[in-house]
Amino acid sequence: MVVIEKARLRTLLSYVGRPLWVMFAFDVAVAEAYVLLGWKWLALPDIPLAIFGGVIGVIAGFRNASAYARWWEARTLWGGVVNHSRSFAREVLTMIAPDETGDASQGEAGEMKRKLVRLQIAFVHALHHRLRGTEPWHDLAGALSDAELDRLRGRDNLPLAIQQRIASLVSICYQWGWLDNMRWVRLDLTLGNLADYQGGCERIKYTPLPRVYDLFIRLFMTIFCVLLPLGMVQSLKLLTPIGSTFVAFIFFTLDRIGRDLEKPFENLPHDVALTAISRSVEIDLKQMAGEQDVPGPVTAVDGVLW
C-alpha cells in the first residue's frame, strides 16, 4: 500500500509510464506535420471528442468504482481477520481452565493456550502468503515448532490445515474438561467467522473483474487518445501536445488506478498491506500471551507499506 504523503510531479508522471510518453511523441508528430509540413488533411475538427470523452469517462468511472469496492472489501475482510484473531486469543487465554488446581494441570493448560495462540498467528501469516502466492515458511517458523511445521508441509490449503489443527486442539480441551459447552461453542463460532473471512478473501483473489472491463476500456481510450490531436490540431496548432497529452494523462491515470485496485492481493505496491497487518496481529497476540519474542512493526520501504 502506497503511503507517500507528498508526491512529486515526476512520480505522478511515472505512474502512467510509457503510454504517456508515446502519446506525447504522437501529439508532437501530428502538430509538426500539420504546421510545418502543411498536412492539412490531418485535422479532423468535426469529431465529437466531448461526447466520446464523456462516455469513456463514465465507463472508466464505473470500472474504477467496482475496483475500489473490491479493494475496500478486501481491507474490510482483513479487518475482520484482525478482530477475530484478537478475540480468539482472548477467549483461549481466559476460557480454557483445568478443573484441577495442581501445578501440572495449570502448566499443561498454559502450554495449550500458548500453542493455540501461536497457531492463530500462523493462520494469519499463512493466509496472507496464500493470497499473495508467496512462501510462508519463514514467518511460520517464528510461530510454530519444527514438529508443527512438518505436520503442515505438503498441504495445499495451509490456512485451512492450521484451522483444522486449532479445532482439534480445542476439541481436546473440551474432552479434558477444560472447556464447558458454552465456551466451546463460543470458540467454534470465532473459528467459523475466521473461515468465512478466508473464504471472502479467496473469492476476491480467484474471481477477477471480467476481462471485458480491461479490454474494451483500454481499446476505447486508445482510440480516443489517437483522435485527440487530430481534433485539436486545427485550433491549437503547435500547442496541440500540451492539450492532448494532458487529457490523455487523465484517462491513462484512470485506467491505471482501476487496474491497480482491482487486484488487492497480488503483492504489488497498491495491495492491501497484508504483511504489516499480519505483523500487527502477531505483536498483539504474543503480548496478550505474555511472550517475550515480540517482533517490531513493519515499516514502509520507499513509500510502500507491504
d(CA 301, CA 276): 12
74 within a domain of the structure (yes/no): yes
Query: Higher model confidence: residue 210 or residue 182?
Result: 182
Whether 107 shows a pLDDT value over 70: the answer reads yes
304 within a domain of the structure (yes/no): no
Nine-digit cell string for 10: 515526476
Quote the pLDDT of residue 103.
Answer: 53
Whether 104 shows a pLDDT value over 60: the answer reads no
147 within a domain of the structure (yes/no): yes
* pTM (two decimals): 0.87
Question: How much is the mean pLDDT over the chain?
Answer: 88
Confidence band for 108, pLDDT divided at 50, 70 and 90: confident
**Number of domains forming the structure of the chain:** 1
Range of the domain at 215: 9-288
293 within a domain of the structure (yes/no): no
Nine-digit cell string for 159: 490456512
pLDDT in tens, 225-242: 999 999 999 888 889 999
Quote the pLDDT of residue 102.
Answer: 52
pLDDT in tens, 163-204: 999 999 999 999 988 888 899 999 999 999 999 999 999 999
Please give the average per-residue pLDDT across 236-261, as a whole number.
88
- Non-local (6+) Cβ contacts of 263 within 8 A are 208, 271
pLDDT in tens, 115-169: 999 999 999 999 999 999 999 998 898 888 888 888 888 888 999 999 999 999 9
295 within a domain of the structure (yes/no): no
The phi-psi region of residue 290 (left if phi > 0; otherwise alpha if psi is between -120 and 50; otherwise beta) is left
Q: Which residue(s) pair with 2 in the sheet?
A: 304
